Structure 1
Amino acid sequence: MPHLSVHVLESDLAGRETDLIERLTDAVVTVYGEWARGLVDVKLIGLPPARWGIGGVPARAPSPYVTFGIKEAAFTRPDADEIVARLIAVVTDAIVDVFGERVRDGVTIDLVATVAGRTGIGGVVVTS
């Protein structure tokens, strides 16, 4: 299940939540296919400006930061480099569609591997 956690300034996020969730979900579906739509989990984390710092001072206009949880097996496929590049491109484009071109150069996306057997749902370890 793809999990996206997006950190963005609350003032930038306000009123754009639904659009951002829809566009990020659509972006993931363009890479994985329609079967993945119901599995895409998006969490939007709005931060007050004083709670995001860059270089030791509060950030003035930081671009969104995305942590994208993905099964570890995706990184061992023969087409892993292509999948990673496509995910980064389409998620960046989705964010730019919502927040504008000014954020593109700073959008950061970390693809984080979820190792089988290291996640639990409902108190049960997920092994696949």
Structure 2
Amino acid sequence: MPHLDVHVLESDLTGRETELIEKLTDAIVAVYGEWARSIAVVRLIGVPPNRWGIGGKPAQAPAPSVTFGIREAAFSRPDADEIVARLIAGVTDAIVDVFGERVRAGVTVELVGTPAERTGVGGAVVTS
């Protein structure tokens, strides 16, 4: 299951939650296909401005940061480089669609691979 945790300033996020969730889900579906829509998880984490620092100081206008959980096996596919590039571009474009072009240069998308059988749901290990 694709999982996205998006950190964004609370003041930038307020009122844009639904649009951001929809656009990020659409970005996932554009790469994986329609089957992924129902299992795509997007968690929006609003951060107060005094709790986001860059360079040892409170950040003035940080761009959103995304941690994208993905199955580790995706990185060993023959088309892995293309998938990674499409996911990063699609997620970045979705964020820019919501917050404006001013954030593009700072948007961070980190793909984090989870090894098989290292995830649990409902107290049970997920094996597929």
* TM-score normalised over the length of structure 2: 0.99
Deviation at 1:117, TM superposition (A): 1.3
What secondary structure does 1:22 align onto? helix
**Match of residue 10 from structure 1:** 10
2:108 aligns to what?
108
User: Cα RMSD between the aligned structures?
Assistant: 0.5
Tell me what 1:93 maps to.
93
Structure 2: runs of 5+ lacking an equivalent: none
Give the fraction of aligned pairs with identical amino acids, expressed as a percent.
78
Deviation by residue 1:40-61 (Cα, 9 ceiling, x = unmatched): 0000000000000000000000
Q: Distance in 2 between matches of 1:119 and 1:90?
A: 25
Unaligned runs of 5+ in 1: none
Post-superposition offset of 1:114: 1.0
Return the offset for 1:86.
0.3
Q: Kindly provide the CA deviation profile for residues 100-121 of structure 1, in whole angstroms up to 9, marking residues without a partner as x.
A: 0000000000000011111111
What count of residue pairs does the alignment treat as equivalent?
128
Compute the displacement of 1:34 (Å).
0.5
Task: Determine the C-alpha separation between the residues in 2 that align with 1:119 and 1:24.
Answer: 22
Q: Which amino acid aligns with 2:38?
A: G
Q: 2:26 aligned with 1:59, yes or no?
A: no
Partner of 2:44: 44
Hey, what's the Cα distance between the residues in 2 that align with 1:40 and 1:123? 20
Paired with 2:119 and 2:105, the residues of 1 have a C-alpha distance of 33
Q: Following the alignment from structure 2 to structure 1, what is the Cα–Cα distance between the partners of residues 102 and 88?
A: 17
Larger mean Cα displacement after TM superposition, 113-122 or 17-26: 113-122
